[in-house]
Structure 1
Amino acid sequence: MINRITHKNMVIDEELITVNNTTKRQVTIYETDDDNIKTMTFISNSKTDSNPEYIVNEQLEAYNNKDLNSFVKTYSDDIKLFSFPYKQNSEGKDLLKEQYATLFENVPDLNAEIVNRIVIGNKVIDKEKVLIKGETFYAIAIYEIQNDLISRVTFIQ
């Protein structure tokens, strides 16, 4: 194991695996209960021509500044937001803008910081510490980058 992110009953491991004398990086997401691993989801290392961290960092800065236009510019027009593993919550930049406009307007102390990060291919997996109305929450966001924009986000809360 190279890196580990934990949150509630979820464990995300960045690992090196060797198959047929070839070593590769992968990420495994384990969903657990009291005694067992309930599910495993694998994320393979994929090739990318850009640095996916750049756009995610830009998005985080705009989020913390509550700069709606700069925030929305970091997303693709057909952005999809999911709850882990596959429950789609929204699609499209217009809906994203509407949802976050309300959040930015109604939560003056809104702030997020990265606690831990794994980057694998075109994916950035962040454990985030989020301040909302005086309360601190932790969540995991899995950002997928296509054409230098965030095209999909899967939240583990």
Structure 2
Amino acid sequence: MTAAGKLSNVDLIQAQLEAYNAQDLDAYCAYFADDIQVGDLNRPPHTSDIETYRKNYAGVFAKFPENKAELLNRIAVGSTVIDHEKVIRSPGGETFEVIAIYTIADGKVARVDFVK
């Protein structure tokens, strides 16, 4: 496996999506900066560090052990990668769509803005 810092921006986002779908919390969090900023688009961040981010996703993975995100579309320009995803909580269960806008700096995801 290639280190997160050696991946292209698109490959970095693909790798974190694959780690998310595998519910591999350590691998997933390795793609994010220690001071990761997460928020809803055009709002102040509600998460500003990797430990809070890790805790949030540990809860998601525990609550939805079959949770997966299906990539519907991806756009990449410079240090920004935008994914349109369909999230499936469990086979035959709840689904919803989300847009995740990833800003990449120094080989890691520095910020994520969500549109739901």
TM-score by length of 2: 0.89
Q: Which structure 2 residue ranges, 5 or more long, are not aligned?
A: 1-6
**Partner of 2:41 in structure 1?**
84
Give percent identity, aligned residues only. 36
Which consecutive segments of 4 or more residues in structure 1 shift more than 3 A?
none
Partners in 2 of 1:75 and 1:136 — Cα distance? 25
Partners in 2 of 1:115 and 1:87 — Cα distance? 27
The alpha carbon displacement at 1:87 in A equals 2.8
Partners in 1 of 2:14 and 2:36 — Cα distance? 17
Cα deviation 1:32-91 (Å, max 9, x = unaligned): xxxxxxxxxxxxxxxxxx621111111101100000000010000000001011231111
Structure having the larger proportion of residues in strand:
1
What is the count of residue pairs matched by the alignment?
A: 108
Counterpart selection for 1:121 from 78, 83, 102: 78
Tell me, yes or no, if structure 1 residue 51 matches structure 2 residue 1.
no
Q: Report which of the two structures shows the higher radius of gyration computed on alpha carbons.
A: 1
**Partner of 1:143 in structure 2?**
102
Structure having the larger proportion of residues in helix:
2
**Partner of 1:23 in structure 2?**
none
Cα deviation 1:10-32 (Å, max 9, x = unaligned): xxxxxxxxxxxxxxxxxxxxxxx
TM-score by length of 1: 0.66
Q: Which structure 1 residue ranges, 5 or more long, are not aligned?
A: 1-49
Across the aligned residues of Structure 1 and Structure 2, the Cα RMSD in angstroms comes to 1.1
